[in-house]
Structure 1
Amino acid sequence: MSTAPWPELAALYDTPPELSSCPLYYVHVDERDTSVTLGFETARLPDRPEPQWAHRAYNTLRFFVVFTGVEDLRMTGLAAGHPDGGDHVLIGVSGDGRRQVTVTGPSRSLGFSAAASAVTRTRVYLRGSV
């Protein structure tokens, strides 16, 4: 699944970036709300930036995807990874319409199904060289 189902990104891009090209830098599990939030970043700048970004210097967009109605959560190795740490994120849709999410990487793995997902926040910033 690409990022196309998220209208919040479609409003910024003619063709939103594929998740496979966006490093995962943030994972938050909220067991009370049965949600998982994943944070991604991309150096691919928006085709239609937000007006409040017009007078800022930036070279990176960060966005947060919240998955709700999470079930069958499986986690191993919760070590924080570097944004370019090699995590691989796959999102598919099952026959009953649930999102099937897997994250695999050198220091962690995460898997779950979710009833829905949405981009809840986008922001730009100036990322220095690492």
Structure 2
Amino acid sequence: MSYTIGALGKATDTTVETVRYYERIGLLPRPPRSAGNYRIYGTGALGRLSFIRRARALGFSLDQVRALLGLADDRRNDCAGIDRIADEHLREVERKIADLIALRRELKAVIESCGGGTVADCRIIEALAP
């Protein structure tokens, strides 16, 4: 089966501009062109773009996606490199969660310190002011 860029984008919920961008940065190989100079993608491109979209949805950076694709392209590789990238990403996610928990705690404290009244006496505005 073959896809135009629009059909590939629709099948993967990706904008045409994003597909072109992934081609420009080398995540997707440049496809052959039709006689009318339209890009023609195969099922391999569909699978690869779906992989990229899922990895991005999970928060992997473009560099991490590039590394994962490079490792996945050689099916003889063991999983150690992939595991390392996933573990690194998990640590990043856990750091962000810890930061968000601390932020939530701080925001709750600021909100609870507000006793109502006028803006001139607002503890939230006071806490945000430099």
Choose between structure 1 and 2: higher strand proportion.
1
Task: Give the greater-gyration-radius structure (CA).
Answer: 2
Query: Which has the larger share of helix?
Result: 2
> TM-score per shorter chain, which class?
under 0.3
| Greater RCO (CA < 8 Å, at least 6 residues apart) | 1
